[in-house]
Structure 1
C-alpha cells in the first residue's frame, strides 16, 4: 500500500510539473487518448475500447490508433516482424490536419484511398469547466456529422486541435463525447517531443485520390459483398472461401452498426 501511495504521489507531481512548464507553439507534441465507444446501436451498454495518438508538429498534426502508429514505426525499423505482436485496431485510418484541410487516409486492406475535407467547425462556447491532467479546461458544444458533442479544451496549451477530426477551438481538446456517450475520447497522457522529431508515415504513394461520394459507394459495395476486401490478383481463393468470408463478415457487422459519423 505504501509503495502504491508513493507511486500515485510521484505521478501527480509529474503531471503538475508538466502542466507548469510553458509549451511553445513550435513544440512537437503528442497526446495519448483513450476511446470508449458503443459499436452496436441496438445495445449501447456494450462498450469497446481503443487507444490513439495525436502527434502535433510545426506544420501538421497526425491522428491514428496506437496500433497504426506503432505499425508505421515498425515498418520504418530494422525488424518489421514485430508487426505480428501488435494489437489490432478497428480504426485503421489516419487523419492529417494541415493548412485548414483534413486529409483522410483510408485503409481497406487491398484498397487504399485518400480524400480531403474542409470542415468549418461552428463551436458554441459554454460555461462548464473541469480539470484534466492538471489543466483548467473550458467547455464548448457542437453538432458534427449527426451527433451532438460536448468538448473540454484548455487554452493553457497553444494548439487548436483535438482527437479525430475535431479542431477549431482556442486551445487543445482534452476530452470530447457525444451527449449519449456513444463515443468518448479522453486524454490520458501528454508528451513533449524533441525539436528534430520527424514522424515518417506510411508510403503515401500507395494511396489513390478519391472523392467522398466514391467512398460511400465503395462502402455500400463492401456491405453487400465484403469479400472484395480480400480479392487480390496475387491470391486466388475458391468461391466457397469467398462466400464463407461474406457470411462471417456480415454476421460480425450486425453488431457494428454505430458509426462515429451518422451523415
Structure 2
C-alpha cells in the first residue's frame, strides 16, 4: 500500500494540461475491430466497436463500447452518490457486465504537429506524448468502394505487419484507425495481409451544425461530470480536445503505475482516491459469463520488427 501511494504521488507531481488547441470535429467514423490474439484459437477473434472522430488537424480513436460502458458506470455512481448524500462516507460499488475486453487506450493524432498523444485512465487520466511514427505508404492504382465511398489502395510495413489500407481522397483527413495515418485521405478500412487484425468500415457520420449548437448549450457533453475520480469519455461533442487537468507522464512512469495496479487493484484504487482527497472506499466487481476464459495473447497487434 505504501509503495502504491508513493507511485501515485510521484505521478501526481507531473499533473498538467497539454497546450494543444482543440480542433473542430467534422466527422465520426465507426469501425468493427477484429483481432486474432491467440493463434491457437483463430475461430475466436476479439471484436470491438471502435470510433474515430476527426477534424482538419486532430483526431481521436477510441472504443465505442467503452463510451457506452462508461455511461453505464457514470449512471451507477450518480445513483449511489445521491443515495449516500450526507452520510460522510462514499462506498461506491460498480458492477460491469461486460464479458469481453474493452480497449482502454485512446489515440490522439495531430497531423500538423506530427505527434501522437495516448490517453489511459488509471482512476486519473494519464497522457503520454510521443512523435507520430512516419509510415512509408506505397499508393497503388487499385480502387474499391465501401458503402459508396470511393477508395484507393495503399500498402506499408508497420509495427511488424504488412498492412493494406483503403483511403478516400474525397474525404481529405490524414487520420485513420489506431496508429494508422498519414495518407492523403481518410483511411476507411485497413487490415494486415494475414487478416489477423482488421478495421472494417461500419459507417460515417458528419458532425452537423445542430449538434454543435446543442453541445455549446451543454446538452451533449452533460455526461462528462467528474465524480470520485471517474469521468465519462464522451467524444461526441463539437470539439476534439484532450481531457482537462490530465496528468502528463512518461511511458516508463505509466508502466510502473499499471504494474502497481495489476499487483493490487483494490489497494491501487484506494491510494488513488486518497491522492485525490476522496474519503471512503471503492469496490468493483465484474460479472463474467459462465465458463468464460481469459484469452492468451500470443499475437499482439504490434509484432517485433523484422531485422
With structure 1 as the length reference, what TM-score do the two structures score? 0.69
Q: Is the 8 A contact 2:28 2:51 kept in 1?
A: yes
Q: Is the 8 A contact 1:65 1:89 kept in 2?
A: no
- Identify the residue that residue 106 of structure 2 maps to in structure 1: 94
Q: Is the 8 A contact 1:174 1:187 kept in 2?
A: yes
Q: Is the 8 A contact 1:72 1:202 kept in 2?
A: no
Q: Map of 1:6-17 to 2, 5 A cutoff? A: none
Q: Map of 1:40-189 to 2, 5 A cutoff? A: 40-70=38-68, 89-98=101-110, 99-107=113-121, 109-110=122-123, 113-118=126-131, 119-189=133-203
Work out which of the residue numbers 247, 256, 266 in structure 2 matches 1:207.
247
Structure 1: unaligned runs, 5 residues or longer: 1-25, 236-250
Structure 2: unaligned runs, 5 residues or longer: 1-23, 80-93, 213-236, 272-292
> Alpha-carbon deviation of 1:71?
5.5
Work out which structure has the larger RCO, using CA pairs closer than 8 Å and 6 or more positions apart in sequence: 2
- Look up the SS of the partner of 1:116 in the other structure: strand
Q: Would the alpha carbon gap of residues 256 and 204 (structure 1) be closer, same or farther in structure 2, given more than 3 Å must change?
A: farther
1:214-257 CA-partner distances (Å, limit 9, x unpaired): 556767x57xx93344432627xxxxxxxxxxxxxxx835x133
Q: Would the alpha carbon gap of residues 201 and 145 (structure 1) be closer, same or farther in structure 2, given more than 3 Å must change?
A: same
1:198 aligns with 2:238: yes
RMSD: 3.5
Q: Would the alpha carbon gap of residues 46 and 233 (structure 1) be closer, same or farther in structure 2, given more than 3 Å must change?
A: closer
Structure 2 CA distance, aligned partners of 1:86 and 1:160? 36
Q: Is the 8 A contact 1:51 1:65 kept in 2?
A: yes
> Alpha-carbon deviation of 1:69?
3.2
> Alpha-carbon deviation of 1:61?
0.8
Count of residues paired in the alignment:
218
